[in-house]
Amino acid sequence: MSFEATQITLIKPSPAITISTKAKAMKAAEAPVIDLSIGVPDFDTPENIIEAAYATMKRGETRYTAPDGTLALKDAVIEKFHRENGVTFKRENITCGNGAKQVIFNALMATLEPGDEVRCPGPYWVSYTDWVLLLGGTPKVVACGIKDGFKLTPERLETAISPQTRWVFLNTPSNPSGAAYKLAELKALGEVLTRHPSVLILSDEIYQQLWYADAPFTYSGRHARSWRSGR
């Protein structure tokens, strides 16, 4: 007798966690292992962050907050986007969560209907398609090969979009490929998306600080409004 919900049977254990567990076991056996499975830093939480969190708790800031974040947190996010990405938001444009996984899952949960399709350029982060399946949607992976630098092209995007397409995912820099979109590439994708105003865009840029190229990082959100207005 199984107590699992039917939806759970649609997904598989995370490959990243599986590899990480194996790597830990090998390290425990003193095998020479370099673990590149899970995206965690190779250093402990910096002391200034620990002290700031401690001071905040000592001030009594330990109660429930608004589910989308405190005003101070939203203001800090707004300042970050203005400083690092050159865009300005209002508080009502910002929602915060316990990490990228929760925020993306919530966005999908609030918008997906059974039969809706989500276009996901591949290679892709392993959780994307599982979330879509759990929420009754249909993930559609758009293969992006090495000749395209593992990036979605306007031609592939146009061909992939159907009347059932609800979301298009962009992940830049990408996990796992490391591919990052240039300004001209994002504009070309935007030209396609302006012809499909019912398609939502999810741009996952959690790794934007891990940037080692000479050219500056291109933030896609800076151009999202022009995509939607057709400019």
Instruction: Summarize the confidence of residues 98-106 as an average pLDDT.
Output: 92
What angle do the packed helices 183-193 and 221-229 form, to 10 degrees? 30
pLDDT digits (tens, 9 = 90+) for 161-175: 999 999 999 999 999
CB 135 within 8 A of CB 167: no
Strands laid side by side in the 200-204 sheet: 138-143, 117-122, 165-171, 200-204
Give the strand pairing for 117-122 and 165-171: parallel
Locate the DSSP E strands across the chain.
117-122, 138-143, 165-171, 200-204
pLDDT digits (tens, 9 = 90+) for 6-43: 888 888 888 888 999 999 999 999 999 988 888 777 78
Percent of the chain with pLDDT strictly greater than 90: 73
64 HSE (CA, 13 A, CB side): 2
Nearest CA among 175, 113, 176, 122 for reference residue 148: 122
User: Structural domain boundaries of the chain?
Assistant: 64-96, 98-229
Sign of the four-CA dihedral 110, 116, 121, 124 = positive
Q: Which residues contact 10 (CB under 8 A, 6 or more apart)?
A: 130, 133, 134
pLDDT digits (tens, 9 = 90+) for 122-139: 999 989 999 999 999 999
Q: Under CATH, which architecture does the 98-229 domain have?
A: 3-Layer(aba) Sandwich (3.40)
